[in-house]
């Protein structure tokens, strides 16, 4: 029997103790409702800005490079502030799952990674430059195998502060997180890590927020577009 990604994430939540088996997860077809702003503050007081997506009760997925140097961090949407209480990190894939409390926001519905196709319509949802929520449309223009899944290339750009924000399909389901960009033939290309990696992030142990040194695959130069 093949399990859906949404069910796999729910099972991971149950096994990690983040939610009881009786809990009914709310989902949302409006991407903006499940997107949050992230403020990550280092021990020296330097602030890094990013975005995240609610994927379960009090759980937010984002990129590890957003919170890597953080001693404390906060989530907001639009005016309330929620402290990050713990995180589960999978630095190699640039996946960090943040835990907070009393977050009254619906979780994003999750797409199946294998259903994503070149040419699919998408919507990006995030907080570029830590300003107001920005949502823009685009398309999937490339899929590149990496690890046990595939990196998604999109034709819609994103800026600082949008990292960790969601990329949603035409049905409002989360397909991945805006993560990195890179130059090629004189132009900038934009890439998304797949939603299937979030379930792996949930399998990691939660621990209090603290800086960590590990870099992700793309920061180490391990992403090869054409193999």
What span, in angstroms and rounded, lies between the C-alpha atoms of 56 and 40?
A: 21
Whether residue 89 is found in the same domain as residue 119: no
Predicted confidence at residue 213, as pLDDT, reads 92
Whether residue 129 is found in the same domain as residue 85: no
Q: Which residue in 193, 185, 98 sits closest to 143, CA to CA?
A: 193
Q: Is the pLDDT of residue 202 over 70?
A: yes
Predicted confidence at residue 211, as pLDDT, reads 94
Burial of 63 (0-12, 13-18, 19+ CB in 10 A): buried
Q: Is the pLDDT of residue 108 over 60?
A: yes
Q: Is the pLDDT of residue 226 over 80?
A: no
Whether residue 104 is found in the same domain as residue 126: no
Is 47 inside a domain boundary? yes
Contact of 65 with 57, CB cutoff 8 Å: no
| Structural domains of the chain, count | 2
Whether residue 18 is found in the same domain as residue 38: yes
pLDDT tens digit sequence for 166-198: 999 999 999 999 999 988 877 899 999 999 999
Mean pLDDT, residues 152-174: 94
Whether residue 26 is found in the same domain as residue 103: yes
Q: Is the pLDDT of residue 111 over 50?
A: yes
Taking all residues of the chain, what is their mean pLDDT, rounded to a whole number?
87
Q: Is the pLDDT of residue 199 over 70?
A: yes
Q: Is the pLDDT of residue 16 over 80?
A: no
Query: CATH no. for residue 170?
Result: 2.40.10.10
Whether residue 121 is found in the same domain as residue 99: no
Q: Which two tokens stand for residue 52?
A: 């995240």
What span, in angstroms and rounded, lies between the C-alpha atoms of 194 and 146?
A: 10
Residue 133 structural domain: 113-194
Contact of 81 with 75, CB cutoff 8 Å: yes
Whether residue 150 is found in the same domain as residue 183: yes
Contact of 91 with 214, CB cutoff 8 Å: yes
């Amino acid at each position: 029997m093949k399990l859906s990604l949404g069910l796999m994430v729910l099972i991971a939540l149950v096994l990690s103790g983040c939610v009881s088996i009786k809990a009914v997860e709310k989902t949302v077809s409006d991407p903006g409702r499940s997107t949050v702003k992230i403020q990550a503050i280092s021990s020296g007081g330097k602030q890094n800005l990013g975005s995240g997506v609610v994927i379960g009760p009090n759980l937010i997925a984002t990129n590890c490079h957003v919170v890597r140097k953080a001693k404390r961090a906060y989530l907001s949407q639009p005016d309330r502030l929620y402290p990050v209480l713990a995180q589960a990190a999978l630095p190699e894939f640039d996946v960090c799952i943040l835990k907070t409390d009393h977050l009254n926001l619906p979780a994003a519905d999750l797409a199946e990674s294998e259903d994503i196709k070149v040419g699919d319509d998408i919507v990006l949802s995030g907080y570029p430059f830590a300003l107001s929520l920005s949502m823009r449309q685009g398309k999937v223009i490339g899929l590149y195998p990496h690890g046990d899944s595939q990196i998604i290339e999109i034709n819609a750009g994103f800026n600082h502060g949008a990292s960790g924000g969601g990329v949603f399909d035409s049905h409002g389901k989360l397909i991945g997180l805006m993560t990195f960009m890179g130059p090629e033939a004189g132009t900038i290309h934009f890439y998304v890590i797949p939603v299937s990696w979030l379930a792996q992030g949930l399998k990691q142990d939660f621990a209090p927020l603290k800086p960590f040194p590990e870099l992700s695959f793309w920061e180490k130069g391990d992403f090869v577009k054409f193999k």
